[in-house]
Amino acid sequence: MNNVNDLEETEDFIKDQRDWLVEHKATRALSWSQLANLIGRAGSTLSAFSAGKYNGAPYAGGNGELAKLVFRFRQTLLRQAELKVEAPEIPTFFDTQTAREGMHLLSWAQRGRMTYWVGGPGTGKTSFCKEYAARASNVWHVEIMRSTKTISALCNQILEVMKIFDGPTGTSRLSSFLMGKFRDTGGLLILDDAQNLEIDLIEEVRGWYDKTGVGVAFIGNPTVVSRMEGGARAADFAQLYSRIGLRMIRALPLKDDIEALVHAWGVDDKQVAAFLHTIGSRPGGLRSCTNALELATMFAHGENSRLEMRHLHAAHSQLATQPVMA
């Protein structure tokens, strides 16, 4: 990839970027608004540039700057296309014992129960939540952000998952509106990364559960259970905790989970498989295995070789000690 600051803003360079932009827009059937989001300049500006009318003339001042922005975009697309060829296809959801147990918990919750699942990083909790939401009706999988600090913010995040964008204003009206969407649906609200929820938000969710019968599943890291079962704030969660009908805790992936990942990736080298079990049994679990396998497979492809232990070891070492170089 070239540094655009080293390029001369010649007439030929500007014309080349203009012609490419016009062709790319037509080939991809993109709007100027869509291109504006991708390139980082207003659609009207890009439209004027493509027509040779920016700043009143084909090569007037400012066209060179725009041409460089278009050139950056071209380079980005080219590099991403190269990586797509180099990078392996990561297996989609694959069945594991942990996933089966997690989806059983979600099925139980959808009967109008309140549950929680506590899992360490890389145990696959978000993966089975997404899979369950794709299989069952009226399931709203919401990944809670650290910035979700108010009841209104939580309501709006849930409504966005529901594809509802015309809710009322005001916290009380918004909460009532959402309860109307929950009522008589036999639905399930999955609150992923629930450790980010403040007490007021958790209590609001308890109110929705009490008044509508919607199923609720809290999914999160060990902070969730420590807050609900002990410590100085345990009393704050007493009413909630008494409603929890099913609890599951999984700190690390099971051996069978890692074996399922090995099978999903088509790994047949016994040494590689054994090292994946070592990686997967540590914090980071299946996610660490996936990251290492993705990079190791790229190393192997670069040598036109099958995946071997040296590739995986190099990938794991690089991911553990330093940034990955593109």
Q: What is the pLDDT of residue 50?
A: 92
Tell me the pTM. Answer: 0.76
Query: Are 120 and 68 found together in one domain?
Result: no
Number of H helices, E strands in the chain: 15, 5
SS3 192: strand
Domain assignment present for 182:
yes
HEC per residue, 113-132: CEEEEEECCCCCHHHHHHHH
Q: Which two tokens stand for residue 256?
A: 């069978």
How far is residue 255's CA from residue 235's CA, in Å, rounded to a whole number? 37
Q: What is the pLDDT of residue 233?
A: 52
Q: Which helix (H) or strand (E) holds 254?
A: none
72 class by beta-carbon count within 10 Å (0-12 exposed, 13-18 middle, 19+ buried): middle
Q: Which two tokens stand for residue 79?
A: 């590099």
Q: Which two tokens stand for residue 7?
A: 């390029």
| Counted domains in the chain | 3
Domain assignment present for 91:
no
Does residue 22 surpass a pLDDT of 90? yes
Domain assignment present for 92:
no
Q: Which helix (H) or strand (E) holds 21?
A: helix 11-28
Q: Which two tokens stand for residue 131?
A: 């899979």
Q: Which two tokens stand for residue 37?
A: 């989001």
Query: Are 174 and 62 found together in one domain?
Result: no
Domain assignment present for 104:
yes
Last residue within a domain, chosen from 199, 224, 250? 250
- Per DSSP, the residues of 79-114 read HHHHHHHHSPPPP-----HHHHHHHHHHHHHTTT-E
Average pLDDT, the chain: 89
Other CB atoms within 10 Å distance of the CB of residue 137: 10
Q: What is the pLDDT of residues 37-72, one digit of tens each?
A: 999 999 999 999 999 888 877 667 789 889 999 999
Q: What is the pLDDT of residue 325?
A: 42
Query: Are 177 and 315 found together in one domain?
Result: no
Instruction: Residue 131: give its domain's CATH number.
Output: 3.40.50.300
Last residue within a domain, chosen from 207, 228, 250? 250
Q: What is the pLDDT of residues 144-165, one digit of tens each?
A: 999 999 999 999 999 999 999 9
SS3 232: coil
Q: Which of 65-74, 121-130, 217-226, 250-259 has the lowest mean pLDDT?
A: 217-226
Q: What is the pLDDT of residue 90?
A: 86
Which residues are within 8 A (CB) of 88 and not within 5 positions of it... i.e. 6 or more apart? 293, 294, 297, 298, 301
Q: What is the pLDDT of residue 323?
A: 44
Q: What is the pLDDT of residue 83?
A: 65
Task: Select the more confidently predicted residue: 318 or 280.
Answer: 280
Query: Are 229 and 108 found together in one domain?
Result: yes
Domain that holds residue 192: 97-250
Which residues are within 8 A (CB) of 8 and not within 5 positions of it... i.e. 6 or more apart? none
Q: Which two tokens stand for residue 193?
A: 């990364």
How far is residue 192's CA from residue 225's CA, in Å, rounded to a whole number? 14
Domain assignment present for 137:
yes
How far is residue 220's CA from residue 142's CA, in Å, rounded to a whole number? 12
